[in-house]
Amino acid sequence: MNQEIESVEAEDQIVCVATLARQIWNQHFVAIIGQAQMDYMLDRFQSPVAIRAQMDTGCEYYLTRRDDEPVGYIGLIPHRSGGKLMLSKLYVKSTERGAGVGSLLLEFTLQRARETGANTVWLTVNRHNTASVEWYKRRGFAVTGKLKKDIGCGFYMDDFVMERGLG
C-alpha cells in the first residue's frame, strides 16, 4: 500500500478535507457531543469556507491518502514566537484506525514542529473522548490543563489541553 501526505492548497483539496471531516465526525463524534453540536462545529470549523479562512490566517492543512484514497488529515498552527506548534486537528477514517495512519500524521507533525523551531506540540481534545486522550498519552503527551470554551449557539468545547515536548 502506498501512503502519502500532501499539503492542502487547492480548492479541490479543501473540499476533500471538508468531505472527509464530515464522514469522520459522523462516525466518531455524535456519541460524544451529539448530532446538533457536531453539525454546528462542522459548519463553523470544517466547511470549505472555514478551512480556507483558517489557512488564510496561517493554519496549515495536510491530507493523507492510502492508494490515492483520502484517509485522514491534520491542521497545524505554528506559533513561531512562542516555541510551540498547535496540532489543531488530527482525524482518521474509522476503517484506517489501528493501521498506523494516526502515528504517521503525528510523526509528520513532530517533524513540522522541529522545522518551525518549536520545542513543544500542544493540542486540545474533548475530555470525554477517552480513546483519543489515551492514544495521545501513549505517544508522550500529558494533560496540562482544561479548557471550556463557548463556541456559540449554546454549545461548548469541553477539552483537555495536552502537550508534548520535543526534547
Domains, the chain, ranges and CATH? 3-165 (3.40.630.30)
**105-143 per-position pLDDT tens digit:** 999 999 999 999 999 999 999 999 999 999 999 999 999
Residue 77 is which amino acid?
I
For the chain, give the percent of residues with pLDDT over 70.
Answer: 99
- Mean pLDDT, rounded, for 149-158: 95
User: With bands split at pLDDT 50, 70 and 90, how would you rate the model's confidence at 98?
Assistant: confident
pLDDT at 91 exceeding the cut of 70 = yes
The confidence score (pLDDT) of residue 122 equals 97
Sheet of 142-152, strand order: 3-7, 60-66, 69-79, 84-92, 120-126, 155-165, 142-152
Relative orientation angle of helices 35-45 and 48-56, to the nearest 10 degrees: 50
Residues listed for the chain: 167
More confident residue, 82 or 1: 82
pTM above 0.85, yes or no: yes
DSSP track, 7-59: E--SHHHHHHHHHHHHHHHHHHTHHHH-HHHHHHHHHHHSSHHHHHHHHHTT-
**34-64 per-position pLDDT tens digit:** 999 999 999 999 999 999 999 999 999 999 9
> To which residue does cell 492508494 refer?
67
**C-alpha cell at position 98:** 489501528
Query: 162 forms bridges with which residues in the sheet?
Result: 123, 143
pLDDT at 81 exceeding the cut of 90 = no
Query: 148 forms bridges with which residues in the sheet?
Result: 158
For the chain, give the percent of residues with pLDDT over 90.
Answer: 87
The confidence score (pLDDT) of residue 1 equals 59
**C-alpha cell at position 48:** 470549505
